[in-house]
Amino acid sequence: MKIQMSLEVAAALASGTPVVALESTITSKMGLPAPYNRACFDRVNAAIRSTGAVPAVTALIDGELWAGIEPHHEARVLAADEKLAERDLPVAMAAKRTGVTTVSATVTIAGLAGIGVFATGGIGGVHRGAEMSFDVSSDLGAMARHPVIVVSAGAKAFLDLPKTLEVLETLSVPVIGYQTDTFPAFWSRSSGLPLNHRVESAAEIAAIATANAALGWPGGMLVANPIPHDAEIPASDIADAIAAGLAAAEQAGATGPKATPKILAAIAAATDSRSIPANLALAESNARLAGEIAAALLRA
């Protein structure tokens, strides 16, 4: 499968320079309202470059998969109004559409392009009430199929986090806490859910990934990186906002991928937009750690 790449990303991969994949949903208007989506785009790219790595924003442009977009693509990607999961890619490719990539689509593109590290905000997971709706994000299955390290601030806090961890365990996806013993809850540093594995450095993560590959495991791993202390919204403060977001999505009849933008918008309103600076801070922190991991992998 041919993946289009920017000249910079292609040169980086050819020369052995570390590369970090980025999803394009969080930097589109469906991830954050303008102008914050542009600010997120600039901050995550700069964070990756600060580590010596090259950012590779993923997207589907006129039916072609891109790992690393050119500058003239940026405006189209930031303004795109179609969000694509892994399962949507073949249909959108055949129709030559343009869209932004979710976690599952980005993991797929990164795997095909040979990019081993991906930074995002928070992964999708098991939705509340999934025992009735069976609403489980394809992000989890994608991590089990593609050999990509996913760096995130845990899973989005409005999900069923205990069930999300259970599904990751069932899929044999290693979940590694970065300087934490508990699973982060996106805007909050801890969900209170214990993790089995903790590391203190990017080098340790790279060593685990190398051992993972040596075992013949075809999938990736999840690195859980808590939001920076000064940007955290405590769980007690965010609980009512999450309830408001879930109610807004239910009232709109939005489920699955369509629910997330409505939930996030309602949470931003309920927190007087405190969630937006938190989103920017955690995305930037994840991007920087991903860059450090990508560099450590080349030394491993």
Q: Return the closest-CA partner of residue 263 out of 235, 282, 241, 289.
A: 241
Angle among Cα 77, 16, 21 to the nearest 5 degrees reads 25
Give the tens place of pLDDT for each residue, 146-160.
999 999 999 988 899
Burial (0-12, 13-18, 19+ Cβ within 10 Å), 35 = exposed
Res. 250: pLDDT tops 80 = no
Mean pLDDT of 109-131: 94
Mean pLDDT of 168-175: 97
Res. 248: pLDDT tops 90 = no
Q: How many domains does the chain have?
A: 1
For 216, the domain range is 4-299
For position 99, what pLDDT does the model report?
97
Res. 264: pLDDT tops 90 = no
CB 293 within 8 A of CB 202: yes
Give the tens place of pLDDT for each residue, 194-220.
999 999 999 999 999 999 999 999 999
CATH number of 63's domain? 3.40.1790.10
| Of 64, 70, 131, 156, catalytic | 156
Task: Tell me the whole-structure pTM to 2 decimals.
Answer: 0.93
Known catalytic residue at 156: yes
Res. 251: pLDDT tops 90 = no
Res. 267: pLDDT tops 80 = no
Nearby residues of 125 by Cβ (< 8 Å), 6 or more positions away: 136, 137, 139, 140, 155, 156, 159, 160, 161, 163, 164, 167
Known catalytic residue at 23: yes
Q: Identify the three-state secondary structure at position 221.
A: strand
Top-confidence residue, 158 or 300:
158
